Structure 1
């Protein structure tokens, strides 16, 4: 942000930039929450597994961003180091998260992964970035984690290998922490590196996606019809455009001005959005404990929006 006559940005200017960054991160997290519901539909109807869905959302995200860049005349250039670090972090984060859900169950996988993220990032940000671990931020992390446990802790059963699932969840949190901490340490808006980082992540996922099954099932029992294939293409395009292309552009723009610990707590909006969509569109039940958890998580985000 530039200031008038080259002077340092005013407090009002910094506040506006911080508020805009918070909004970007919150919108990105909300978009990610919609992606979970869409992915759940694809798993049931397309024959695609989680790694293949992740691969296609990245490929289609690249296509959407490339079209937008060409439309507005922006260059697609990015430093290779940025692309490699961010792309590898995204690949680890997404793949390990799905592995956590597969082995530990949805509830345990979500709590471990999204619950560990703010803690890992807060500790790493203090050591690597020198960010202050204030009482307000510690309280926000604690309230957010309590809300997360209430939100998802009452649903689902543990998977077949919960210990392995927990390990994958912690690995996923580490991958997300790398993306967040690196973005803050490099400084500036890294949204221009989004396309290149998606390409690196997609390349990392391609062998796993091929092994899992890269294309939707066709012709077999329970395989989608021609109309079902069109629906699959539409859902994949949505995943590429909204929870991927739009969300990560906003996230990288927001994390440039919002402290890493604050960013981690704000992204807890993601499971709240996912649960609300599951209730509204998929007919899932919303318990009183889940409602209390959602309120706590949103309260943590609102508190950070006021105090930073």
Structure 2
């Protein structure tokens, strides 16, 4: 495995967050076709992500490299994606996003201190506070609007969002704990395990619906960019950066998703939301520029 510098690791984490920010739009467009449910999209996302990485790593002999450590990674992937979609169903996108993304770096920071003995520096603590403040400003108005409308169960939605954040933090902590492993192997094995976990639930919705060219293109994009590319970069970043640092940088996904909504989906951001974008982006940028290897 080629060693990368802390600065390059921070760049990889930023690129992963940017790629993840496009995944929500692609998933939403797939849902609108009526051919896929959330679990079906997640299943194909993991299967295609594994396939694309295997094409890149053609000489990798999985039997010689995979071990039990990909099991918690894959299970965590399945949990946090499925729980996130369940949170959206019960409390709306805004609440699900702010709780999941807000709780993830906090849980990661606590877990990295308890289980990895990683020290949270003053700069990282300030960056975390600024990033969380920016995330709240970016999503507070949509969240309030969502809470004013009937939902299946807002409390249950928050519980699912916290479960999603726990799964996400778990994937980050396990991957960081075993940073000596090839990150490509971790990603491929994690995708495969996640697909196996999701397959029984996806069968109920129909795993192989009738495809159109637009939906096929969206699936290929979802598997290639927000999955294979993003997770590949993310796991590489975890080999050189502290778990909390990577988790905070990943909050840049919220900014990318918001800007994509404005540019392509006709959404509008209020001055408060723009302020949140700027604060969140500033926190992530400062942390990325000053990244130290852990």
| Aligned pair partner of 1:55 in 43, 48, 53 | 43
1:275 alignment partner in structure 2: 258
TM-fit CA distance, 1:47: 2.8
- Aligned-pair Cα RMSD in Å: 1.8
| Aligned pair partner of 1:115 in 74, 90, 102 | 102
Which secondary structure does the structure 1 equivalent of 2:55 belong to? helix
**In 2, are the aligned partners of 1:48 and 1:215 still within 8 Å (CA)?**
no
String of CA shifts for 1:240-267, please: whole Å, max 9, x gaps: 1111111111111011111111111100
2:146 alignment partner in structure 1: 157
TM-fit CA distance, 1:138: 1.5
**In 2, are the aligned partners of 1:115 and 1:145 still within 8 Å (CA)?**
yes
2:212 alignment partner in structure 1: 229
Aligned equivalents of 2:266, 2:257: Cα separation in 1: 12
TM-fit CA distance, 1:183: 1.1
Aligned equivalents of 1:284, 1:75: Cα separation in 2: 46
| Aligned pair partner of 1:185 in 163, 166, 177 | 177
Matched, 1:32 2:25: no
2:241 alignment partner in structure 1: 258
TM-fit CA distance, 1:149: 1.1
TM-fit CA distance, 1:46: 3.5
**In 1, are the aligned partners of 2:87 and 2:157 still within 8 Å (CA)?**
yes
Structure 2 counterparts to residues 50-129 of structure 1, below 5 A: 50-70=38-58, 73-76=59-62, 77-129=64-116
TM-fit CA distance, 1:140: 1.1
Aligned equivalents of 1:279, 1:302: Cα separation in 2: 21
Which secondary structure does the structure 2 equivalent of 1:153 belong to? helix
Aligned equivalents of 2:227, 2:117: Cα separation in 1: 30
1:20 alignment partner in structure 2: 8
Which secondary structure does the structure 2 equivalent of 1:132 belong to? coil
Greater shift, 180-189 or 17-26, is seen at 180-189
TM-fit CA distance, 1:193: 2.3
> Structure 2: any 5+ residue segments left out of the alignment?
none
1:134 alignment partner in structure 2: 121
**In 2, are the aligned partners of 1:56 and 1:240 still within 8 Å (CA)?**
yes
4+ aligned runs moved over 6 Å, structure 1: none
Aligned equivalents of 2:60, 2:176: Cα separation in 1: 23
Greater shift, 203-212 or 17-26, is seen at 203-212
Q: Normalising to structure 2: TM-score of the pair? A: 0.91
Aligned equivalents of 1:175, 1:163: Cα separation in 2: 19
TM-fit CA distance, 1:97: 1.0
> Structure 1: any 5+ residue segments left out of the alignment?
3-13, 219-227
Aligned equivalents of 1:212, 1:149: Cα separation in 2: 34
Bigger Cα Rg: 1
Aligned equivalents of 2:130, 2:286: Cα separation in 1: 10
TM-fit CA distance, 1:134: 2.1
TM-fit CA distance, 1:303: 2.1
String of CA shifts for 1:200-228, please: whole Å, max 9, x gaps: 00010111112234344x5xxxxxxxxx7
Aligned equivalents of 1:261, 1:68: Cα separation in 2: 29
Which secondary structure does the structure 1 equivalent of 2:70 belong to? helix
Give the total of aligned pairs.
284
